[in-house]
Amino acid sequence: MGLKNEAQTAFQNTKSVYKEYVSGMTPERIGKEFYKDTDRLKQLYEEAIQQDSQFEKKEIPAHLKFLKLFSALTQRLNPTRRLLFGLSIIAFLIYYLSSFFGIINFVLFHEILLPFAFSSMLMLLLVELLEKSDVKREIDLAREIQLGLLPATAYKSENLEIFSFANTAKEVGGDYVDVIKTNEGTYMIIADVSGKGLSAALYMVRMQALVHLIIEKDNPSPKELFLELNNYVKSDIKDKTFVTACAAFFPKDSQHFTFARAGHNAPILFSKKQDATFDLRSDGFALGMTSTNHLKAHLQEKKFQFVAGDSVLFYTDGLTEARNDNGEEFGEERLDAIMNIYGSLHAKSIVQKIQSSLENFIGSEKPADDITFTCVHHSN
């Protein structure tokens, strides 16, 4: 009968737990996350100070700065947890002050002060972590729902190939890309809602619903689509959100497309005939930044030739503004060079070339913004 070496197993289990605990604790990551946390504390402190008008033009004493930050932090706890936190702080203070002055034996229940304070803090930490875990699960569900609303990665019609890439900087994002097929042709829409995270994602879902509703109802031109969307975005005066966007319509069995740009990054068109790339620049404000009448007067709609072998790339600013470890941006010039070399390939190949180049460029650096881009290729 073989005997199991329990000591070795215990050692291996301990080693496994240790490796799991310290996983990801690289100096670079610790430095970045420490900087991120301290920056968040600084923002919280500035918000707390700004709420008190009496300190706007005065130098704030150090003890008041600490109290303001402490108050701002504790206000984020619910009343019950705030009470428990306060009691544990008081227990710590009573224990250490009475020990310092040598009167600890005269304090009632002094034996349980330190255990009570420690266990209360530990319980608060565990409850906050559990709550954060629950929130993360809900956000993960929201991410699945959002991804389910996006169009399929690949789309193919009679003469069009469309391939998309999307990556969110947070669990959910504010970039929007859509391909909508109608009896008259195919719409290609890409947009970037101001901000990031859950609020931008919710706004993106709202924009998607509006786009589908308007196109299904009216079959508008790109300019007409943006004017209708601007009416909805500007309908809430208190809402300061704005949306940059591009929209293109590819008529069925035609060798052209119509295009409008509302303050968004200019797409890149590759012409196989001229073996060159062109920026599709046109005038137009971002949606939500001005009145619909003013937008109507300044928003341009243009028509571009689009024949076999041509490709057009739509993208959000997260692509060109992605940075590497040295702080350098991926940039429009690098993107234009890729389109110049590979623009005659199929849409999927172009997107894969851009993705590969981007991944090699940023290395281990995590993108700070959502990255979305779509390529439309005329296949015959």
Among the listed residues 142, 134, 133, 207, the one whose alpha carbon sits nearest the alpha carbon of residue 172:
142
Q: Are 325 and 366 in a shared domain?
A: yes
| pLDDT computed for residue 251 by the predictor | 93
pLDDT digits (tens, 9 = 90+) for 282-303: 888 899 888 889 999 999 999 9
**Any idea which residue has 């310290």 for tokens?**
22
How many structural domains is the chain composed of?
Answer: 2
Mean pLDDT of the chain, nearest integer? 83
Cβ neighbours of residue 163 closer than 8 Å, sequence gap 6 or more: 153, 154, 155, 346, 347, 348, 350, 351, 374, 375, 377
Q: Are 139 and 205 in a shared domain?
A: no
**Domain termination residue (choose one: 102, 121, 149):** 149
Q: Do residues 124 and 132 lie in contact, with contact meaning Cβ atoms separated by under 8 Å?
A: no
pLDDT digits (tens, 9 = 90+) for 83-104: 888 888 888 888 888 888 888 7
Q: Are 334 and 224 in a shared domain?
A: yes
Separation CA 242–CA 263 (nearest Å): 10
Q: How far is CA 218 from the centre of its chain?
A: 32
Q: Are 165 and 228 in a shared domain?
A: yes
Separation CA 369–CA 322 (nearest Å): 7
pLDDT digits (tens, 9 = 90+) for 204-255: 888 888 999 999 998 999 999 999 999 887 766 566 778 899 999 999 988 9
Q: Is residue 20 part of a domain?
A: no
Separation CA 170–CA 101 (nearest Å): 51
Q: Is residue 11 part of a domain?
A: no
Separation CA 115–CA 111 (nearest Å): 8
| pLDDT computed for residue 197 by the predictor | 66
Q: Are 66 and 118 in a shared domain?
A: yes
Cβ neighbours of residue 202 closer than 8 Å, sequence gap 6 or more: none
Separation CA 375–CA 270 (nearest Å): 11
Q: Is residue 195 part of a domain?
A: yes
pLDDT of 6 > 60? The answer is no
Of 40-54, 76-90, 232-246, 323-337, the range with the lowest mean pLDDT is 40-54
Q: Are 69 and 105 in a shared domain?
A: yes
**Domain termination residue (choose one: 127, 149, 171):** 149
pTM, two decimal places:
0.71
What are 377's strand-pairing partners?
Answer: 161, 311
At 309, the pLDDT band (50, 70, 90 cuts) reads very high
Q: Are 241 and 278 in a shared domain?
A: yes
At 172, the pLDDT band (50, 70, 90 cuts) reads low
Q: Are 122 and 171 in a shared domain?
A: no
What are 178's strand-pairing partners?
Answer: 189
At 59, the pLDDT band (50, 70, 90 cuts) reads low
* Boundaries of domain holding 69: 61-149
Q: Is residue 9 part of a domain?
A: no
**Domain termination residue (choose one: 149, 180, 211):** 149
Q: Are 197 and 120 in a shared domain?
A: no
Backbone angles phi, psi at 39, to 5 degrees: -65, -40
Cβ neighbours of residue 244 closer than 8 Å, sequence gap 6 or more: 191, 192, 262, 263, 264, 265, 286, 287, 317
